[in-house]
Amino acid sequence: MHEKLWEQLLQLDPQGTAKRVKCGYLKDLNQYCVKFMGIEYTVDIGEKQIFIGSEDGEPVGAGFMEQLCILAYLIKSVKVPLSKRLVTGDKLESGEFFFRGPHVIPTAKLEDVFGYNPDLIYSATNGMNAKKASFGDASVEVRVFDRLPVTFVVWGADDEFPARGSILFDQSATSHLPLDALLAAVDITVKSLISAVS
């Protein structure tokens, strides 16, 4: 699974990589410790496995899309400061062409679930590495990775206007993930938000 990404990761210096992406590295075990949406994942370099711990102590393997995001982040993320400028996906480099058709950003799902009760999004982020933001009727900034915040915004429906959602990225987002992995990370986050209130 993701063999080409593992090959790229294996060519990198682990200690330098950990410093670059702001994650832990256990030299004796040859493992990275990466936080994804507030959950710590172990990336076992030698075994080419990614997993999280469980209550019974048995490791639980990460899903296909989670693995894609984590591997891509370890390979691509660079040590740059946040631009502090939030943009929609189409304003990212090449985003106008990528985020369309089957790659559309899932704002409609935010609208469907949170549009009639925007404040519900705050309880949906319990357990995530998130904080309130100041946009729309309700909004949260989720630290998908330590170097990658994503802001989810909801405007509630009323008698005149339908619900509206927006997903905003720091303009530096493509310094940390390629667009396909960025979309996967957003999809996973939106699904987690919805699952938390379903």
The tens digit of pLDDT for each residue in 85-143 reads 999 999 999 999 999 999 999 999 999 999 999 999 999 998 888 999 999 999 999 99
Whole-model pTM?
A: 0.94
Q: What DSSP line would sit under 179-196, residue for residue?
A: HHHHHHHHHHHHHHHHHH
Structural domain harbouring 24: 3-76
Q: What DSSP line would sit under 112-156, residue for residue?
A: HHHTT-TTHHHHHTTTSSEEE--SSSEEEEEEEETTEEEEEEEE-
- Among 49, 76, 103, the domain boundary falls at 76
Q: Does a structural domain hold residue 183?
A: yes
Q: Does a structural domain hold residue 81?
A: no
3-state SS string for 155-172: ECCCCCCCCEEEEEEECC
Question: How large is the average pLDDT for residues 35-46?
Answer: 95
Q: Are 116 and 157 in contact (CB under 8 A)?
A: yes
Number of domains in the chain: 2
Instruction: Give the confidence band of 71 by pLDDT, cuts at 50, 70, 90.
Output: very high
Q: Does a structural domain hold residue 67?
A: yes
CA distance 112 to 107: 9
- Among 18, 48, 76, the domain boundary falls at 76
- What's residue 1's pLDDT? 75
pLDDT above 90: residue 164: yes
Q: Does a structural domain hold residue 38?
A: yes
Integer-rounded Cα radius of gyration of the chain: 17
- What's residue 55's pLDDT? 65
- What's residue 54's pLDDT? 66
Phi-psi group of 94: left, alpha or beta (phi > 0 → left; psi -120 to 50 → alpha; rest → beta): left
Could you tell me if 100 and 127 lie in one domain?
yes
Indicate the SS3 state at residue 66: helix
CATH code: domain of residue 193: 3.30.310
Q: How many other CB atoms are there within 10 angstroms of residue 185's CB atom? A: 27
